[in-house]
Amino acid sequence: VPPPPPPPPPPPTPTPGPVGATHPRLFLDGIAWWDEFHLKVRLGHASKWEVRLCRHPDTGKVCPEEEGGEWDAEKPNTSIKYPGEARVCAGALMHKATGTEADGVHGGYKGVTLPLFNYTGRTVVGLKAWKKARLAELERVKPLGGWG
Confidence of residue 14 (pLDDT cuts 50, 70, 90): low
pLDDT of 132 reads 96
Adjacent-strand bridge partners of 53: none
pLDDT of 133 reads 94
Backbone angle region of 127, left / alpha / beta, with phi > 0 → left and psi within -120 to 50 → alpha: alpha
pLDDT of 128 reads 95
Structure pTM? 0.48
Lowest mean pLDDT among 14-28, 84-98, 125-139: 14-28
